Structure 1
Amino acid sequence: MTQGEQTRLDGGPNASSAQPAQISRPATKRTQLITLLPTKAGADIATIGDRLGWQPHTVRAGLSGLRKAGHHLEKVIPGPGKATRYRIIASQAAAPAGSDSHGG
């Protein structure tokens, strides 16, 4: 090995110029759930379960988790015999800075 090669291997100028590889992570289930809900029609529990591979009780728990995280969900009851649909109408992050719901 030459001196120049040792410099690169030991963290010389050529070693520091390399950028670490960006690893893209798949979207989380919560993120996928959030993307299903902001549409005008929203989504029903069966559709959400099919898309995410969740059972109905897990879908309901996920919706509760979104509420606890500050998302405002609307429950839409389309009519007799039709499935109840849910959609996000607002989130705490999207609310103006001075508009908290604690009344203080």
Structure 2
Amino acid sequence: MVTSGEFPGLDLPGVDASSSLEGLGPVELHDPTQDIDGDGTLDTVTTSGPEAMQVWSDYDHDGVADQVTVVEKDGDYAAWEFHHNPDGTSGWVRTDQGKIGQ
């Protein structure tokens, strides 16, 4: 599992492809470095460590991650989106998972 301590200067939570993200809450993105959606505004931070790569994106530019994707070195991957529910609650919902090449 990747942990936030592996990336000095970043305060991103440790997430791997099998994480549930239950109870994680909103994740702030400071100083995005990539423009993943091509709209001309930096919206994404990519981190990598010995076991995995994480891609955290803030597509609505409110400073909070809307989506995270993790790809592990063994090919396992997963993606989640942060949802705001009508009842006022919010949380991460897994939108995809699997193994690359299968």
- Whether these two folds match at TM > 0.5 is no
TM normalised by structure 2 equals: 0.32
Question: Over alpha carbons, which structure has the higher Rg?
Answer: 1
Between Structure 1 and Structure 2, the one with more strand by share is 2
Between Structure 1 and Structure 2, the one with more helix by share is 1
TM normalised by structure 1 equals: 0.31
